[in-house]
Amino acid sequence: MAYPFALPDLAYAHDALEPTIDARTMEIHHGKHHAAYTSKLNAALEGHPDLHGKSAEDLLAGLDSLPDSIQGAVRNNGGGYVNHTLFWDVMTPGGASAPSGDLAAAIDAAFSSLDDFKAKFQANAGGQFGSGWGWLCVDADGGLQGFSTANQDSPVMRGLTPILGVDVWEHAYYLNYQNRRPDYLTAFWNVVNWDIVGARYDAAQS
């Protein structure tokens, strides 16, 4: 996927993640917020045809090489574009409710247990001041890293491959949970599709 970037379709209905994420939140989050990141990314790139062949990930990984005039717009809107694309994918209804295979072993090795990983992931995401994301990523050596980022900053900017992410901007949860971000993060596990996270882990190893 390169310029002009298109808003990816959801692979499921707006109400498919209820009661964890309500349909109205999904309608606004995908149809308004993600759509706006997409159109603003395209607007930033419009006058730079030399960049039109690059993927959003390539643009973010090479942010410092972009013209100063569009670095901020690509960081915010390119980040928003790729972060949300991953978010919809890993929350696909159905699938495994726990990791298996190589990813399960890697989580145990890096975080002691799945429960310890979940606690750390929720602490990272819950502790992010203001807007941002919580992440599980694969590093260049194939190892796992968990942390949070501010705003729409993407792990791709650090040379990492995100395999699981949770949006902790208030627009992601406020209709259902108001100020109760920890409750949203606890419920998030109900809609994570570990088959997809595992496939992303496997792909990042090769």
Residues at the interface with Mn ion (CB under 5 A): 167, 169
- Residue closer to Mn ion by CB (options 121, 169) is 169
**Whole-angstrom Cα distance, residue 81 to residue 53?**
16
Shortest Cβ distance from residue 11 to Mn ion (Å)?
17
Shortest Cβ distance from residue 118 to Mn ion (Å)?
21
Distances (CA, A) of 115 to 8, 96, 186: 32, 16, 12
C-beta nearest to Mn ion: residue: 167
Encoded tokens for 169: 């901007």
- Residue closer to Mn ion by CB (options 34, 54) is 34
Shortest Cβ distance from residue 101 to Mn ion (Å)?
30
Specify the amino acid at residue 171. Answer: H
Shortest Cβ distance from residue 205 to Mn ion (Å)?
28
Shortest Cβ distance from residue 124 to Mn ion (Å)?
17
Q: Name the residue among 201, 82, 87 with its Cα closest to residue 139.
A: 201
Distances (CA, A) of 113 to 9, 37, 116, 138, 164: 34, 36, 5, 17, 17
- The number of CA neighbours under 13 Å toward the Cβ of 96 is 12
Residues whose CB is less than 8 angstroms from the CB of residue 20 and which lie 6 or more positions away in sequence, other chains included? 187, 188, 190, 191
Shortest Cβ distance from residue 190 to Mn ion (Å)?
19
**Whole-angstrom Cα distance, residue 92 to residue 137?**
19
